[in-house]
Each structure stands twice: as C-alpha cells, then as structure tokens.
Amino acid sequence: MAFLLKDLLGKDKILTSGHRLCPGCGAPMAVKMVTMATDNPLIITSATGCLEVSTTIYPFTAWDTPWVHSAFENAGATISGLQTAFLAWKKKGKIDKEVKFLAFGGDGGTYDIGLQALSGALERGHDFVYVCYDNQGYMNTGAQRSASTPMGASTTTEPAGKKSIGKRIQRKDLTMIAAAHHNAYAAQSSISHWQDLMSKAKKAFEYEGPAFINVLSPCVRFWRVPSSKTVEIAKLAVETNFWPLFEIENMKLTLNFKPKERKPIIDWIKAQGRYKHLLQAGNEPVIDEIQKEVDAYFDYLVRLSSI
C-alpha cells in the first residue's frame, strides 16, 4: 500500500518533541515512520540504548503511549510477556480492543546482546513487531564495534591504525537470521525510503505472528557525517547496494529496489569519516574486497528473488 503525505499530517505522534537524541539521528525518524504505519493502539518496549536513554530522561518521557524499558538483553522477552499478558486479559474479558506490540532495539541490543531473547520470541511465534534501528555500533557508549559494524570501519574497540584497517570482518546478516525462523515476516529497509519502510511496517503490524524489520539509521556523530546528511547517506547505502531493500514472507524473498546503475562502494566510503583511513595508499585491496562482498550479496538476493 502507498502512503500519502497528506494522510499523515494529522496523525498523532507516538514519539513527541523534546527528546534528547542528537541532531540528525536516524533513530527517531525510523520510530516515527514505523509508528505512523498503524492506526491501532501501541504498547512499546525499548532495549537499553540511544533511543531509550535519550527519550526517557527521568522524570520526563517523549513517548505518548504505554512504554516499557527493557534491559539491553531482553527486549524480545519483554515484548513476549506484554503480548501474552494482553491475551490473558482479553480471554478474561478485561479488554476488548485491538492492540499492537512493538519493540525497538539498536544493533548492539539486537545483533549481539539481545539476539537470544529475540530468537526465542520469534521461535515461539508471539504476535509482535521488532524493529532494529541499525546504526552499526554501540553508539550510546562511545562507538564500540558491534556485529553490525561493517568491514573497514574504525571504532573505539577496533580502531584503524598503522597495522589495522578497523573492523577486519564482514557484518552479520541479521535479517536473514530472523527469516530463518521460518514463521516470521522479515524485512530490511532504510530511513531514506519512507514509503518502503512504512509499507513494510504496515505489513508487519498486520502479519499474524512475529515480524522483524531491520532499518538502517545512520549515527552522524560516529559515522563522521554532517547532521544535515542523514537521509542522504542512508540513501547512498541503498544506491550502492551496501544496504539492499528486501522482504521475506512465507519463505519467499522479494527484492524491493534494484538501482538502474550500481554506484560504486567508494562513494559510500568517501562520504564518512569512519572510513577515511581506507583512502590512504595501500588500502585499495580492502576497498576491492568490500566491493566484491557487496556485489556478491546483492547478486545472491537477486537469485533468491527469482526462485
């Protein structure tokens, strides 16, 4: 379904103004797009991370809906418990409205620390939506590397130096891991493509069972890009095929965007300070390796989408 901007103007904002996320942060953009994709009441939980700490500075909150703080590792368990409690209340006749359950976690709380709880929730088949706002590192605590940090990026725990290219291995493919549970709707999107993201969020809310959406949400502070370039850098990730847009439903993969002409990964690398060391002489093989990985993965998705 296509969303019209005029239809969104009067919608209530679940995440209100007054939060303390950085200027240009991609996370609140992802939150607002996802939450506006349903007209049902929402109960939300957030894992510890940038989004949680910056929207709930005691005694204030920027959430205009029931909201629960989860620990770093258990957002999947928290949303499972909330949804199960709702079903019990509904069975007893204590509530008769339709409510949607939504969890947010960064890549640190999703790819790494919270993976076990998320996997358990997916496997059990709870009816909820989990959104990972993926900024590719532990940004809340100082840009430590996560399993989502891409190869070649410099982080505080795996910094670039005379004998280091930054992170030495490729990032984890979490969207495919979620899809591998075989009972979940799994999708990958970006804040740069709002129609794509909102359409996938709507489908996720309507899906009977667990749904997972991985959303690229740039961290301008530690990606070393101007705060005005958030959407632009996210769009470049899609246009270079670094971050493909796809969805998997009933074990069928659909590739949602194919660039008419693939932009080279060097365009993505040059745009961010976290990769600046790769532009030094001698690091050309690293850039070539990153390009080969990007091309191979996109071609893999193309093959899967044609089956």
d(CA 258, CA 302): 9
pLDDT at residue 1 greater than cutoff 70: no
Give the pLDDT mean for 22-41: 96
pLDDT value of residue 4: 76
pLDDT value of residue 305: 96
Give the pLDDT mean for 75-102: 96
Give the pLDDT mean for 227-241: 98
pLDDT at residue 307 greater than cutoff 70: yes
| Cα dihedral 200/194/38/8 (nearest 10) | -150
pLDDT at residue 6 greater than cutoff 80: no
pLDDT at residue 8 greater than cutoff 90: no
pLDDT at residue 9 greater than cutoff 90: no
Give the pLDDT mean for 250-254: 95
CB-neighbour burial class of residue 188 (10 A; exposed 0-12, middle 13-18, buried 19+)? buried
pLDDT at residue 189 greater than cutoff 70: yes
End-to-end CA distance of the chain: 24
pLDDT value of residue 13: 87
Give the pLDDT mean for 270-296: 97
Percent pLDDT > 90 in the chain is 93
Q: What is the mean pLDDT of the chain?
A: 96
Cβ proximity of 138 and 221 under 8 Å: no
Q: How much is the pTM?
A: 0.96
DSSP state, 11?
A: S
Query: How many other C-beta atoms are found inside a 10 Å radius of the C-beta of residue 304?
Result: 15
pLDDT (tens digit, 9 = 90+) per residue, 114-138? 999 999 999 999 999 999 999 999 9
C-alpha distances in Å from residue 22, one per residue of 117, 222, 228, 290 = 28, 11, 12, 29
Which residue in this structure is represented by tokens 């996109």? Answer: 298
Percent pLDDT > 70 in the chain is 100
pLDDT at residue 211 greater than cutoff 80: yes
pLDDT at residue 7 greater than cutoff 80: no
pLDDT value of residue 62: 97
More confident residue, 279 or 11: 279
> Domains (ranges, CATH) in the chain?
13-305 (3.40.50.970)
pLDDT at residue 269 greater than cutoff 90: yes
pLDDT (tens digit, 9 = 90+) per residue, 215-225? 999 999 999 99
Q: Which residues, 6 or more positions from 80, have their beta carbon under 8 angstroms from its beta carbon?
A: 120, 121, 124, 126, 128
pLDDT at residue 162 greater than cutoff 80: yes
Give the pLDDT mean for 222-239: 98
Q: Which residues, 6 or more positions from 163, have their beta carbon under 8 angstroms from its beta carbon?
A: none
Helix (H) / strand (E) element for 17: namely none
Cβ proximity of 188 and 247 under 8 Å: yes
